[in-house]
Structure 1
Amino acid sequence: MTITDIDTTVAESLPRRTMILYGLPHLTDAVMTLPMALFIPAFYAGEMGLPLAGVGAMISISRIFDVLIDPVIGTLSDRWHSRWGRRKPWLVVGTPIIMLATWMLFVPPADVSLLYLMIWASLLSIGYSLFDLPYKAWGAELSTDYRERSRIAAWREGFGAAGQFLFLAVLIVMGIAGHKGGSNEMRAIALMVIVSLPPLVAITLWRVPERLPERLTGEVLIGWSAMISLFKNRAFLRTVLAIILFGAGLMIQATLHKLVLTHVIGRPELFAPLILGETVASLAAMPLWLKLSDRIGKHRAVTLAALWVGVWSLPFPWVGAGDIELYSILIALRGSSFAAIFFLSNSIAADVIDQDTLDTGKQRTGLFFALWGMAIKLAVALGVLIGTGFPALFGFVPTTASHTPSSISALMHIYGWLPGLIMLLAFPLLWNFPIDEAYHQLLRGRIEARRSP
């Protein structure tokens, strides 16, 4: 479908089939976010023998490095004009970069260095930005309806969770077949990405339409005036802070999860099954969180979803060697809101952009998702840095066979309590969020009244 085929009228109701086809690529590209958090730090610090604090620093640097590139990608995708649309060409460019960087990062040479890790982690992050920012902007523009946006994001994140389920199932089968070890797992992940990403992207590019950008009559802000308007947008500022807090909290736990299972619980072979169970719980709970968001508003639902993670993380310091049943239950309960945090946050983001469209007279979806992408990467960098640096400060060294009780206690408190405390700080930012369903209807009415013919 070319840009000239797109219906420019106000959306009625987006067919479910379109939502499904749009979400397909996330079946693969979301897979990469899980190993980057759960596998890469433990793999490079464990099997590859690099210092844990150094690994955390290199991953953090790789996130900060491409933060400067995100606004450029977002702005260019907003201004891009082609017969295929504004967003689709960027997915075509990002796909091969993701494939190359994934292989180099997940299948490193034996003499790997911290510099090697930083270079390929940075390139993967850049390729992911080229793909993911326009992809999310495209999804935000598929519908203008408050509730339907949640369903579009839910389908995408649902496919993401399903992709993680499939790759974890593959790892479990590999373990049963005797192909254990971090290097075998990493190679399998890389192959899954390289083989599956191109056809899924091709189907979505072919079958999913792209709406023309909204252009409003009246004053249009450009230059510094347009940039200043960002800082006057209270909803945008609140979401940026909330993303950083949510992301940092989740990344601390993701970074330490395999280390806790190995050095505290003593059952590292159950890593993939536990994450698989967590993913199933997240998928199963998605309809409940969607119904809750319809009832109390997506801003309050996402706040409760984040607090849910914090509540079920509180008992972690009392989990010890052999407590696999208790640990498994806590992991499943904690993870049952993960997908909701992601799809509700993205749905809220689309509403925030509507406010900016009305304020500036032009639609800057790519720029906004780039800025949120920057916040996410800063959150990832902060979470990985805390998750690797803080345990090291208290004497925890993953390459050591034995640990002192104080270092284990510090590890479990950092893993269990610190993320919850950080995420709790987002409560006042989102609970009374300025854009609810009633205000959004008013907002859309004002935008439609100013739409260019």
Structure 2
Amino acid sequence: MSLTRFLYQWILKFGNQKEATLPLFDPIILGTAFVAFRIFDGLSDPIAGRLTDTWKRKGFQRRTLLLFTFFLAPIGLAITFLCSHNLSQPINWLLLTTGLLIFFVGYTFYAIPYWSLVDDYSGGDKTTRSKLSGLLGLGIVIGSGIGNGVSGFLIDAHGYGITGVTFALGSVLLMSLPYWASPTKTLSYNEPQTYNHKKENIWSGIIGALKHRKFLALIALFGGSQMSFAIMTAAAPFIAIDLLGGSEKDSVALMGPLIGAAIPFFFFVPKVQMKYGWLRCMLWASIALAIVYSCSGLLGND
């Protein structure tokens, strides 16, 4: 999560670095390329999910997939932020596209089996699963805080390149740890699972899901809230530096309270969701986020 927050927050500001009034990358082309990779990320999710399920059906533990991918996203991030004005434009674009491709492939094929570990490690126990899910959420918040907050101080002191490599090295170690968190009872080899139902094409399942009205509503709800959060993350450096006259480290003043507020919510949100329903609570939360993001447009001077 630290890697994704780091990339989303700083990629556009990084590309906007100027030398003799010339930016490192054309902002429109860079933004288009980044959106294209985000779409690629979304399209590759079903493929990663199908691969993960196939891997488990063949008798392998899903956690073993992490060993093939835990190093890819950090490598991609480091390559992306190696671009500089000292290199030619073709070399910079080669580094950027190669880095983003490795990053999103690595992130997708790591994240899908990683999310499944909550079910695998809980062993069907609801209490254990609830605790693991809470710890996972807390880890996501902490990781986001590091990616959004600490990164600004490091960039202000050491620049983008060194900070990117630093985050990559730290993430390689941290992203390998979930493999070793498996309870002892799940370490044994899983027998291959057999299914009698007819094997369906990966896209037929997606098309079938899209026929459900509530599923489409969830896509709109989560898609809107996630995209608005991504936009706010990318806009934070511009707001802090260009509108408010601060530096890279001041972006934490915008994202820090927003992310930090999530920590105490872990204690009472489950109870609220049980009372009112998680779908209704998600709707309220998305509306509240929209208000917060809209207010950010009032910052700065014309």
* TM-score, normalised with respect to structure 1: 0.55
Matched residues, number: 287
Alignment of 1:43-442 (within 5 A): 43-46=14-17, 49-80=24-55, 81=57, 84-85=60-61, 87-108=62-83, 110-111=86-87, 113-140=92-119, 142=122, 152-166=132-146, 170-171=150-151, 174=154, 179-198=157-176, 200-205=177-182, 209=186, 220-223=197-200, 229-268=208-247, 269-320=249-300, 405=302
Instruction: Note the alpha carbon deviations across 1:77-98, whole angstroms, 9 max, x for none.
Output: 112245542x212211111222
**Aligned partners of 1:245, 1:34: CA distance in 2, in Å?**
17
Query: What is the CA-CA distance between 1:179 and the residue it aligns to?
Result: 2.2
Q: 2:2 aligns to what SS in structure 1?
A: coil
**Aligned partners of 2:236, 2:152: CA distance in 1, in Å?**
17
Q: CA RMSD in A?
A: 3.4
**Aligned partners of 1:164, 1:227: CA distance in 2, in Å?**
30
Partner of 1:348: none
> Percent same amino acid at aligned positions?
17
Contact 1:62–1:119 (Cα < 8 Å) also in 2: no
**Aligned partners of 1:315, 1:257: CA distance in 2, in Å?**
13
Q: 2:157 aligns to what SS in structure 1?
A: coil
Contact 1:43–1:182 (Cα < 8 Å) also in 2: yes
**Aligned partners of 1:300, 1:288: CA distance in 2, in Å?**
16
**Aligned partners of 2:151, 2:242: CA distance in 1, in Å?**
21
Structure 1 portions without partners, runs of 5+:
1-29, 322-404, 406-453
Instruction: Letter of the 1:194 partner, please give it.
Output: V
Partner of 1:3: none
Instruction: Note the alpha carbon deviations across 1:194-243, whole angstroms, 9 max, x for none.
Output: 34332x23422465849989x999x8354367565434444433322322
**Aligned partners of 1:230, 1:167: CA distance in 2, in Å?**
34
Query: What is the CA-CA distance between 1:145 and the residue it aligns to?
Result: 8.2
Instruction: Letter of the 2:12 partner, please give it.
Output: P
**Aligned partners of 1:149, 1:301: CA distance in 2, in Å?**
21
**Aligned partners of 1:294, 1:147: CA distance in 2, in Å?**
15
* TM-score, normalised with respect to structure 2: 0.79
Instruction: Letter of the 1:136 partner, please give it.
Output: W
Query: What is the CA-CA distance between 1:256 and the residue it aligns to?
Result: 1.4
**Aligned partners of 1:254, 1:228: CA distance in 2, in Å?**
32
**Aligned partners of 1:216, 1:283: CA distance in 2, in Å?**
42
Instruction: Letter of the 2:181 partner, please give it.
Output: T
Partner of 1:34: 5
